[in-house]
Amino acid sequence: MPKLFPYLFLLFTIGFGWFIIAPLVPILSADFHVSIPSVILLISIYGYAVVLVGLLAGYILG
């Protein structure tokens, strides 16, 4: 069980980073001259990648 703590901490920090990006949506949209839905799509892709990597890492550890 102690081997899982660094893994869980890493997943928590990466997942928490997903929520930190959310307030930046209007700023990123204005800076890159793209629509807000495009920025939200990119942020969502990041979140889905975190979930997939977490599931894969959990399977490997299990």
Q: What is the pLDDT of residue 1?
A: 64
For the stretch 25-57, pLDDT in tens is 999 999 999 999 999 998 888 888 888 887 887
**Residue 25 CA to its chain's centroid (Å):** 14
Q: What is the CA radius of gyration of the chain?
A: 15
Residue 15 confidence (pLDDT) above 80: no
The rounded distance, in Å, linking the Cα atoms of 44 and 61 is: 26
pTM as predicted: 0.65
pLDDT mean over 13-31: 86
